[in-house]
Structure 1
Amino acid sequence: MKRLVVLVLMSVFVISGISCKKQKEIVREGLVNFVSGEVYLMSVEKKNEAKVGDVVTQGMKIITGSKSVVDIYFGENAVKVLENTVVEVRQLVTNLESNSEQTKLFIEKGETLSKITKKLSKSDEYVIQTPTTIAAIRGTDFMVSELGNKAKVSCLDGKVAVKDATVEQSEYVEVNAGEEVEVDPGKPLNVKELDAANKERIQNILKDIKEMQQDIRKRFEEEREKIREQVKDMKQQTKEAVEKQRAEDLQRVEDQKALDKANIDAIKGTADKGKEEAKEAVDALKGDTAKSLEGVKPEVKKFSVDVKKPTIEKQSIDKPAVEKPAAPKL
């Protein structure tokens, strides 16, 4: 029995611990902002063609075909997935205890360009990993490529910490703005100046991202202005409709008043006419009666009444005999 109680209590603690752990993190979402060519979002259940406005969640894969590209926003940060690339979103959460964000992307193959707009705190974590590389970002614009079992990390702004993912005890090397590093599994990492052609390529891509952001902002402002105009027009239409309804209601009231007055006048006229006709009928009846009684003398009979004087007979009233009381005996 004690063992059963202990097992039950342990189960409660485990469940409570799991619940608390779940409550420590909130899963975030990304949003597709631009799509060109063949781009797919694949989850465990299905694979769908990506379109603007689609939500990207933890565990999804982003797949691009030839001459295809997709831009995804994770909060304030943007990631451009270039052609022939497969990227998995491995972690996308907010830690409630440390008030920090953890973002981890895994590039199976291909290239991504990240623009980290949000200033990352010490507890924030933004990591892009490939089969050969781990790149930890501290607020920057950078590109990560995984092509032919080799990786390249190019930093245009800020800095990136990079290490060989195939070597267990490998250490991070710091790649600053204007530098890049190639990661060849098992070989030392050599940081060098960013190649001019690669730098120009990254700058052009970033320029596209900036123009895209401006275009999105412009469209947003246009949509907002359009909504404002629609609301304004709706208010005006509502005001006009209310005023029109009020005028119609007032007119209906006036019409009803006029109709009621006409009905009352009609009823009053009918009553007056009936009264006049009744008076005329009574007068006519009186006239006819008077005519019929002309020359007729009423016969009045005289009645004689004999009034006899009543006779009063005198009656003798005998006085009662009064006996004298006997004298008392002595």
Structure 2
Amino acid sequence: MKKKPAWLIVSFIVYLRNRRGVVMIRNKLFILLVLLVMVSCGGKKSEDTVRTESSQESVQITFFSGDVKIMRDTVERKPELGMALASDDKVLTGENGKLEILVRQSGLVKVSSKSSVMVSAFMRDSDVSDTNIHIDYGKVVTIVKKEKKNENFNVVTPTLVAGVRGTTFLTSVENVNDNKKGIACGKEDCLVKVSVLDGSVAVHRNDSPEEVFLSKNSELNVPGNKKLSQDLVKPLGKNSLGDLKDIIVFHKSNIGGYENLVNELKNTSSELSALDSSGSLDEMQDRLQKSSSKTQSDEIKKLATETDESRYLKKDIAKEKIKLDPKETF
């Protein structure tokens, strides 16, 4: 039976109390009864409330500069270091704005200028967490630790979804009809680029379960409604490498174990170390290519095994594509 709102029950009690000859309640008893009603109706938190608070505790701002604002319930707020973001908060960066977000001490989301992004992180149960990064437009770099098998990261754009774990990659969403690059795009005029520096990413269209896979030092450009195919995956280009180098700049912070996470990320990724070093983009590109000791199929096989062998068909993916259940995420 659905519970009645607390105010309705209290009003009914007041009505009974004021009726002559119907019921007589002493003042002290009346106050006690009202308190009991309020506790019973309002003491238990709804699932939505718990999920929102879980998000707020796990998504924090660790750095920002320039023109940055947070839209919460249609109200504009100024960002603050350590500020917790709710699941429906929208981050907007202007011409020179930058923002960095720490997710559950295991991932970083770096938002570039002229971007519109929402980040939500929830515990599905006691063991599994889901993080979704929604990009309306702009550029976002996601850096996720490799070791955690129970954390699901998805980057969602107007046309594509990228499922990741243990990955450093850039997602760019551009409206081809917007010269100022500050308007969300529709499916027809949206250009989405996924550039992987390290790790593996599975990408599928919002309206199709068919996936393509990207390994380290590769990229994928998908304009409008173009159908995905593995042939679209190309080596990481110089422009993408330049964007990654510009966006991946780490800052000192004492928030939520940030320093430990950054040190761990650098120590476990030769690609991040190469990006940190000085030199031209050509030299960096050459260094990254030489450091890539594994083929694309090797990377995907490893990720599939680490995640859950039961979810993948045991096939030689160098010869035949892996097929996932359409309802599952990579």
In the alignment, residue 182 of structure 1 is paired with which amino acid? N
Task: Indicate yes or no: 2:240 matched with 1:201.
Answer: no
CA-based RMSD:
2.8
Structure 2 alignment gaps of length 5 or more: 4-40, 176-189, 259-330
The answer for the alignment partner of 1:120 in structure 2 is 148
Pick 1 or 2: higher relative contact order, CA cutoff 8 A, min separation 6: 2
The answer for the alignment partner of 1:146 in structure 2 is 173
In the alignment, residue 169 of structure 1 is paired with which amino acid? S
In the alignment, residue 241 of structure 2 is paired with which amino acid? K
Alignment of 1:229-308 (within 5 A): none
Alignment of 1:37-56 (within 5 A): 37-56=66-85
Deviation by residue 1:181-229 (Cα, 9 ceiling, x = unmatched): 01223223311111023224313432x12xx1xx2269x99xxxxxxxx
Report the alpha carbon displacement of residue 19 of structure 1 after superposing the two structures with TM. 7.4
Task: Indicate yes or no: 2:169 matched with 1:169.
Answer: no
In the alignment, residue 191 of structure 2 is paired with which amino acid? K
The answer for the alignment partner of 2:275 in structure 1 is none
The answer for the alignment partner of 2:222 in structure 1 is 183
Report the alpha carbon displacement of residue 156 of structure 1 after superposing the two structures with TM. 0.3
Q: Is the 8 A contact 2:112 2:247 kept in 1?
A: no
Report the alpha carbon displacement of residue 55 of structure 1 after superposing the two structures with TM. 1.5
Taking structure 1 as reference, are residues 20 and 57 closer, same or farther at Cα in structure 2, changes over 3 Å only?
A: closer
Q: Is the 8 A contact 1:179 1:193 kept in 2?
A: yes
Report the alpha carbon displacement of residue 170 of structure 1 after superposing the two structures with TM. 4.3
Query: So what's the TM-score if we normalise by structure 1?
Result: 0.54
Q: Which has the higher helix share?
A: 1
SS in 1 for 2:253: helix
SS in 1 for 2:147: coil
Q: Is the 8 A contact 2:169 2:197 kept in 1?
A: yes
Task: Indicate yes or no: 2:130 matched with 1:105.
Answer: no
> Hey, what's the Cα distance between the residues in 1 that align with 2:63 and 2:75?
21
Q: Is the 8 A contact 2:170 2:194 kept in 1?
A: yes
> Hey, what's the Cα distance between the residues in 1 that align with 2:60 and 2:165?
22
In the alignment, residue 150 of structure 1 is paired with which amino acid? L
The answer for the alignment partner of 2:87 in structure 1 is 58
Task: Indicate yes or no: 2:131 matched with 1:131.
Answer: no
Deviation by residue 1:273-308 (Cα, 9 ceiling, x = unmatched): xxxxxxxxxxxxxxxxxxxxxxxxxxxxxxxxxxxx
SS in 2 for 1:182: strand
Q: Is the 8 A contact 1:27 1:58 kept in 2?
A: no
Structure 1 alignment gaps of length 5 or more: 1-7, 222-330
> Hey, what's the Cα distance between the residues in 2 that align with 1:105 and 1:169?
19
Taking structure 1 as reference, are residues 118 and 74 closer, same or farther at Cα in structure 2, changes over 3 Å only?
A: farther
Q: Is the 8 A contact 2:140 2:170 kept in 1?
A: yes
In the alignment, residue 123 of structure 2 is paired with which amino acid? T
SS in 2 for 1:199: helix
SS in 1 for 2:243: helix
Deviation by residue 1:213-255 (Cα, 9 ceiling, x = unmatched): xx2269x99xxxxxxxxxxxxxxxxxxxxxxxxxxxxxxxxxx
The answer for the alignment partner of 1:78 in structure 2 is 108
